[in-house]
Amino acid sequence: MNALGNLLLVGAGGFLGSIARYGVTLALGAPADGAFPTATFIVNAVGSAAIGFLLGMSLDGPMASPAARLFLITGVLGGFTTFSAFGVETFMLLRRGDTGLAALYVVGTVLSSLAAVWLGFRGAQG
């Protein structure tokens, strides 16, 4: 596939992933001032598990197609997960003086995302 085709795959996937992320935020509600950012936390954990699973499927597996990886991993799941929202929400917690909650959010997000990638990868490997 050519560069334009790759860009379109990533863009189409990102569009779908971003809409899905927004849907989760609508379903769970945006965090109130000082509240734990549940929607972003869940999106990043679920997205990380899905990325791990698809990564496991793509390494010499049934989804070895570069186009499928671009669409699903870079596009859909790149648009679904959100590091920028994670940064903003952490900053807002710190700005309000909620250092403990901010630390819990940072550590919990990093650990759960790493664990989710590992679990997804292991699930794909059988």
Write out the chain in H/E/C secondary structure.
Answer: CCHHHHHHHHHHHHHHHHHHHHHHHHHHCCCCCCCCCHHHHHHHHHHHHHHHHHHHHHCCCCCCCHHHHHHHHHHHHHHHCCHHHHHHHHHHHHHCCCHHHHHHHHHHHHHHHHHHHHHHHHHHHC
Q: How far apart are CA 108 and CA 52, in angstroms?
A: 18
Q: How far apart are CA 98 and CA 85, in angstroms?
A: 17
Residues annotated within the binding site are 78, 81
What six digits make up the tokens of 120?
A: 């997804």
Residues annotated within the binding site for Na(+) are 78, 81
